[in-house]
A and B are shown apart, each in its own frame.
Chain A
């Protein structure tokens, strides 16, 4: 009873506090005498607190759900709108809470007071919708929140009204997301019409009662719809456009949490509800996952826009999530439930691990980018010395996103690798052919991601500042910096505590794979991570980290002992072969990845254009313009022709409306005659 009370209090508290944070700025704007704090400080604190409550709710729910719910009847001819957390949504609510709290804590007002208040309100509204996506237990409410989430985040993507880039991003984002949403909505509504109800419970029941063919096609619709949100190839195009345009705290939630809503949707609607995913689901997801991971990593490696690079990296990790989920489905379909559990645990663990790391990255990089006034790596540099606190957080996130131990992304990927190897050894069906490629893709993507993120931190934060604004950058406001630094502890904790924390995913895993015991994922009081029950391999991230640190200290002690004091250290200007060092002598972001671009030229198909502006002698022109770019391959080969053809068709159809009254009358006449003939 106590637990139930606590849960409903947490649920109501987080939802209503977010509602209040959403409405307060607007109300404060309408009431002239309202204190200024009501416009920003108070709603922000409210929202952060709400997210913290959500995090606690997620944690409590992971331990066990009591079925607390929040209902609201909008007057429609259906059941009340219901919000409740269950085991499957718990990890996502937890992630939402953690990232959301940091995101709101780091949300600093900028621009005009009205603009800042509007942004905060949108941010809170977006967070509310996102939370409700995880909590909805009613199909229409789910759709409502899903579209609301897309819409409010699109508004935040467009927050810089003057930016043409923002406008394009908003458009592509909205248009693609809506296609995804249409699939989801179609499937949901169809399901609801079978169930005669919009409640998830009834939907699940109806879903499992459907004949196999119908069940599969619906599950596929859900999958296609949610793949857009997850950013899987070829529906990933919106992601690197939209995520960078939003303010940094919002980007953190977009990449950190919202993308995971796609995973949540797939697990909920294509796995949990029908009882098991469709037959070829695993294979397709696995292949798409590998493709996405590679695409994301490759484009991240060649990207020069700091935030866009992070967004591409999100695609890579989304690919890993899809791969892991697909792997789990394949294994489960082949009866390897134990290994499937390992893969699924990897997916869930990585979802949160990546969410934390990516949110941190966006927060930290966003602050740096804001301080330097540019997102372009070519104009950054030297940030680490000027913004030490933020840069430290950026470094942590960089290492975490590289998938390096002991940070958050490592453990999840380790589990995926284990599942791949064990699944291969177990000789599970198609997996014998797919696993090598999946492993190779995963490894290649990981290595490319390392190159991308080293570039981000190395070119953007280290070295000398390349422009004046970058040189003038200074550390973020204490509150923001403190929030970011505090949040930096989470990716570390999620990595080091992996053995202990992976076991906490038992409840959601049991929902998807009944009988799988996640507690077996950890050994030795939560210090060692093992593939459940299989005991074949083990790692202890905490011990490894401890040893690394201890040996480093030991080396220092050894040096001191040898010299009988602290080793000498002298600060001097960098040496540049005797020339005067110039910031432009540093490797540029473009140059840094030249080798990679050359290696992957056949895939990337870069475009180069050399234009002679001013002729000089026959052999040497005076002035050139050189332009190069890497157009997104999917965009170029798939989307652009599609859009062109739709527009072309529209132009043709437009000829129906020539402006001639006679033609219009003829339509009418033809309709009447046609109807007469038809009605016979």
Chain B
């Protein structure tokens, strides 16, 4: 509790601080400090979880198990990196917006921190209702951020995001209600009927018909939030229109949080009606997401949309791997959840710098990045390696561990489909990356951001590569524990 409360309070307090006019000018720095502090706390939390098992608080409304700790690590790490980068990025961007379109200073950071707060609450909530509220809150904050720029595209994307995710999240609420109903019957006491840890313990005696129905709605609801096909359609629009740091955070932290929501339902369902039923659904939706994303990746002209589809594909891998359910696959899936965040956020952020430098978001305007700016070019290549899952990026190991686990399960056909999708995606992404990285530098390309803005990017890349060679023992232990949580 001593860790949980500060962790949850830091971000909202930071958000309020950003809105204070006196501090608004330095809101960027505040956001960085707050998220960095949150990251430190997340490390402490992970250590506590490793040392003494789940950390609970607030009468079991909050509870951090290994999975929460893992997601918290992802959220805070990426949030810190994105905030750090945003310090350099947002001023440059805003300087180019029209005067009347600008938001008051500090507003962006406040929303950003609100989003972080929502995600952290979602990660740490033990009560499924609370989880729902957190994710809905994060959705609302991020909807404003998606529509942050006052251009028609941003409005359109924000609208679609808000509407689709609201429907999705409403379905998730229905799922929560259904689960609660079945729990109340068993427990007789409504106060604990939404506590996940309690639900899982009594899962065996829940009414399977309601649990199944709940899982279906949760799958559609949280699945829409996580970007599973065919509920994914908001994702390319939102990611391409949101400010780059926000897109990076959404595609990693928000994805992880929403997926955790789904996985919590999955764990209860599996414990209630047996593993095969819900895992079959997860595997099918995972593979479907991979297959749906693939063609879009091949014929895509815009960088951030490309990343969005790649994000769908990665969500597919994750869902697939965790759905398969063998310990190795789940380990691979969770590791993938962890490491793909570094790759994806890196890809978004470096893309932001390049898009500003090239004054275009279209990839055909980006040729010769490596020549124009060796640093950005190298980072871009690193991000690409992470996205396609090639060594030395850690995603290579996580993907193949997942597949190795999948081949040892009954879902071999799905695994083959996944491999096929991965291979085609590889061809598509390599093609785009080749066009961007190689070739003659554009004459007017200049990196508008200060060189210091590369620091967070290098940090992400370093983490991505380092994890490809060496998984620290505590992280390994944390992943192992998280696997236990899910099985």
- A–B direct touch, CB within 8 Å, in complex? yes
Interface residues of A, Cβ cutoff 8 Å to B:
74-77, 114, 140, 143-145, 147-148, 151, 158, 161-162, 164, 166-167, 170-171, 174-175, 178-179, 182, 185-186, 189-190, 192-194, 196, 646-647, 649-651, 653-654, 656-657, 659, 661, 663-665, 667-668, 670-672, 675-676, 679
A654→B233 contact, CB < 8 A = no
B residues engaging A (CB < 8 A)? 159-160, 163-164, 167-168, 171, 212-213, 216-217, 219-220, 224, 230-231, 233-234, 236-237, 281, 292, 294-296, 298-299, 327-328, 331, 368, 370-371, 374, 385, 390-392, 396-397, 400-401, 403-405, 407-408, 416, 419, 422-424, 426-427, 430-431, 434-435, 437-440, 469-473, 475-476, 480
Give 20 pairs: A residue, B residue, CB < 8 Å, sorted on A: A76-B401, A77-B327, A145-B391, A147-B391, A148-B391, A167-B438, A167-B439, A175-B427, A182-B419, A186-B407, A192-B404, A193-B328, A194-B408, A654-B295, A656-B292, A657-B233, A667-B233, A668-B220, A672-B216, A676-B216
Contact A144 B419, beta carbon cutoff 8 Å: no
> Could you tell me the distance in whole angstroms from the C-beta of A183 to the nearest C-beta in chain B?
9
The answer on a CB contact under 8 Å between A144 and B396 is yes
Q: Please tell me if the beta carbons of A667 and B423 are within 8 angstroms of each other in the complex.
A: no
Which residues from B are CB-within-8-Å of A196? 408
Closest to A658 in B: B233
A185 to B426, CA, bound (A): 14
Please tell me if the beta carbons of B295 and A668 are within 8 angstroms of each other in the complex. Answer: no
Task: Tell me if B400 and A671 are in contact (CB < 8 A).
Answer: no
User: Contact at B434–A151, with CB atoms within 8 Å?
Assistant: no
A676 to B175, CA, bound (A): 13
Cβ contact within 8 Å between B400 and A143: yes
Given A158-B438, A162-B439, A653-B295, residue A665 in contact with residue B404 (CB < 8 A): no
In the complex, which of the residues B212, B327, B390, B435 has the most CB atoms of chain A within 10 Å of its own CB atom? B390
**Chain B neighbourhood of A178, CB < 8 A:** 423, 426-427, 430
Known: A76-B471, A178-B423, A676-B216. 15 other contacts (CB 8 A): A74-B470, A76-B397, A148-B390, A148-B391, A151-B390, A162-B440, A167-B435, A175-B427, A178-B426, A178-B427, A186-B407, A189-B404, A650-B295, A659-B237, A679-B213
Q: A171-B434, A675-B220 are in contact. Are A77 and B473 (CB under 8 A)?
A: no
Complex: chain A residue closest to B328, CB-CB = A77
Known A-B contacts A75-B470, A75-B476, A174-B430; A144 and B236 likewise in contact (beta carbons under 8 Å): no
Question: What 6 pairs between A and B have smallest CB-CB spacing?
Answer: A75-B471, A193-B408, A650-B295, A664-B233, A653-B295, A189-B404
> Residues of A contacting B212 with CB < 8 Å?
679
B292: chain A residues at CB < 8 Å are 653, 656
* CB-defined contacts of A192 to chain B, threshold 8 Å: 404, 407
Contact present for A151 and B426 (CB under 8 Å): no
A75 x B438 contact (CB < 8 A): no
Closest to B294 in A: A650
CA gap between A148 and B391 in the complex, in Å = 6
- State the Cβ distance, A186 to closest chain B Cβ, in Å: 6
Among B231, B385, B426, B476, contact of A77 (Cβ-Cβ < 8 Å): B476
User: Are B400's CB and A189's CB within 8 A?
Assistant: yes
Q: Which of B163, B220, B236, B368 contacts A671 (CB 8 A)?
A: B220
Shortest CB distance B326–A (Å) = 8
What residues of A have a CB within 8 angstroms of the CB of B400 in the complex? 140, 143, 185, 189
Do the beta carbons of B391 and A144 come within 8 Å of each other? yes
With A75-B473, A178-B427 known to touch, is A668 a contact of B168 (CB < 8 Å)?
A: yes
Whether A164 contacts B439 in the complex (CB less than 8 A), given A182-B423, A189-B407, comes out as yes
User: Which chain B residues border A164 with CB–CB below 8 Å?
Assistant: 439
Closest B-chain residue to A196, C-beta based? B408
Q: Chain A residue with minimal CB distance to B228?
A: A671
Contact of A672 among B171, B281, B476 (CB under 8 A): B171
| Inter-subunit contact A649/B164 (CB<8 Å) | no
Shortest beta-carbon distance from B366 to chain A in Å? 13
Q: How far is the CB of B272 from chain A (nearest CB, A)?
A: 14
Closest A residue, CB atoms, query B231? A668
How long is the Cα–Cα vector from A193 to B430 in the complex, in angstroms?
Answer: 29
B396, B438, B473, B476 — most chain A CB neighbours (10 Å): B438
List of B residues within 8 angstroms of A671 by Cβ: 220, 230-231
Residues of A near B427 (CB, < 8 A) are 175, 178-179
| Residues of B contacting A158 in the complex (Cβ-Cβ under 8 angstroms) | 434, 437-438
Q: Of the candidates B164, B295, B392, B434, which one forms a contact with A664 in the assembled complex, judged by CB atoms under 8 Å apart?
A: B164
Q: B391 near A653 (CB under 8 angstroms)?
A: no
CA distance A117 to B225 in the complex (A): 46
In the assembled complex, the Cα of A193 lies from the Cα of B230 at a distance in Å of 31
- Nearest chain A CB to B368's CB is how many angstroms away? 7
Pair B219/A675 contact, Cβ less than 8 Å: yes
Determine the chain B residues whose CB is within 8 A of the CB of A672 once the complex forms. Answer: 171, 216-217, 220
Q: Are A161 and B438 in contact (CB under 8 A)?
A: yes
Residues of chain B contacted by A670 (CB below 8 angstroms): 230
> Closest A-chain residue to B224, C-beta based?
A668
Question: In the complex, A663→B471 CA distance in Å?
Answer: 44
Q: Give the shortest distance, in Å, between A557 (CB) and chain B (any CB).
A: 60
Most chain B CB inside 10 Å of its own CB: which residue of A77, A182, A649, A670: A77
* CB-defined contacts of B171 to chain A, threshold 8 Å: 672
CB-nearest residue of chain B to A151: B390
Contact B299 A647 (CB under 8 A): yes
Measured in the bound complex, the distance between the Cα atoms of B300 and A654 in whole Å is 9
Cα–Cα, bound, A185→B216 (Å): 34
Nearest-Cβ distance from residue B316 to partner chain A, whole angstroms: 15
Contact B407 A190 (CB under 8 A): yes
B400 to chain A, nearest CB (A): 6
Specify which chain A residues have a CB less than 8 angstroms from the CB of B480 in the assembled complex.
77
B397 touches A189 (CB 8 A): no
Q: What's the minimum C-beta distance from B396 to chain A, rounded to whole angstroms?
A: 7
How far, in angstroms, from A611 to B405 measured CA to CA in the complex? 59
Given contacts A649-B295, A650-B298, A667-B230, contact A675 B404 (CB under 8 A): no
B396 touches A147 (CB 8 A): yes
User: Chain B's nearest CB lies how many Å from the CB of A142?
Assistant: 11
Return the contact of A161 from the options B160, B370, B422, B426 (Cβ within 8 A).
Answer: B370
Q: From residue A133, how far is it (CB to closest CB) to chain B in Å?
A: 12
The reply to whether A650 and B438 form a contact with Cβ atoms under 8 Å apart is no
Inter-chain CA distance A350–B234, complex, in Å, is 58
- Which of B220, B296, B327, B391 makes the CB contact (< 8 A) with A654? B296
List, in ascending order, chain B residues with CB within 8 A of A189's CB: 400, 403-404, 407
Report the bound CA distance from A196 to B407 in whole Å. Answer: 11
Taken together as a complex, chains A and B put the C-alpha atoms of A185 and B419 apart, in Å, by 9
Q: Is the CB of A170 within 8 A of B434?
A: yes
Give the interface centre of A76, A190, A661 by most chain B CB atoms within 10 Å: A76
* CB–CB B296/A162 < 8 A: no
Q: Whose C-beta in chain A lies nearest to the C-beta of B474? A: A75
Bound-complex Cα distance A335 to B377 (A): 57
* A182 CB contacts on chain B under 8 angstroms: 419, 422-423
Closest residue to B374 on the A side, CB-wise?
A114
- Quote the shortest CB–CB distance from A229 to chain B (angstroms): 15
CB < 8 Å neighbour of B299 from A74, A76, A651, A668: A651
User: Could you tell me the distance in whole angstroms from the C-beta of A48 to the nearest C-beta in chain B?
Assistant: 24
What is the CA–CA distance of A119 and B64 in the complex, to the nearest angstrom? 48
User: If the complex has contacts A171-B434, A189-B400, are A148 and B423 also in contact, measured as CB distance less than 8 A?
Assistant: no
B295 pairs with A161, CB closer than 8 A: no
Give Cα A164 to B368, complex, Å.
Answer: 11
Q: With the chains together, A64 CA to B179 CA distance in Å?
A: 66
Give bound CA distance, A656 to B295, whole Å. 11
How far is B472's CA from A175's CA once the two chains are assembled, in angstroms? Answer: 33
Task: Report whether A646 and B213 are in contact in the complex, using a CB–CB cutoff of 8 Å.
Answer: no
The answer to whether A650 and B404 have CB atoms under 8 Å apart is no
Enumerate chain B residues within 8 angstroms of A667, measured Cβ to Cβ: 230-231, 233
Chain A residues near B404 (CB-CB < 8 A): 189, 192-193
A466 to chain B: closest CB distance in Å?
28
